[in-house]
Amino acid sequence: MTGTAKRRGRSTPFARTSDNLTRVELTWIEKKIENWIRFGEPAHEKMLSRSRRILSFRPATIFAFVRWASNDFGTIISRIDIVRTVAPGEAYQTLPFVRPGGEILLKVEGWPKVEQVLRRIDAIEALDIAAPDVSPDHWRHIHNRLAAGHEPRAYTREQHQAYLLRRKTTS
């Protein structure tokens, strides 16, 4: 379905467009609202204003979406979601600012946990492994371990090679 729908005087895109891309709306208002993509390869970028843009991702792309907001009293939200975009007909979960949604591999709230995830991403990239290429199971592992209050295991080159071989044999 293509086109737009009216909501409170603003035009918003319909959930699914004919190009089957997943769209992520990013807002950056210094020290108020800071939404950004930590990793992931967008297929397209559209600038709406100096502080707003929309990134579009192809199906099966994995990206990390970080959201932070504050008010006069301090931080009100710190969150990171690692999401796999879906193809038409696949089930998905909804997520603010992500249309239509995606498969949420990791969802973490609170700055200390968000910071732990960001450090994990840095460690993976230090191994010369691109974060979007990491096994989705590892992102789920990190999510589950942090939710249980345990330390996640590090991702290794050996794990990554095993994942790549497994992916090759199933495709």
Residues 50-95 have pLDDT tens digits of 999 999 999 999 999 999 999 988 899 999 999 999 999 999 999 9
In a 3-state reduction of DSSP, which class is residue 46? strand
Q: For residue range 25-42, list pLDDT tens digits in order.
A: 999 999 899 999 999 999
- Check if the beta carbon of residue 46 is closer than 8 Å to that of residue 38: no
What's the pTM? 0.87
Residue 97 contacts by C-beta under 8 Å, 6 or more apart in sequence? 24, 25, 26, 27, 35, 65, 67
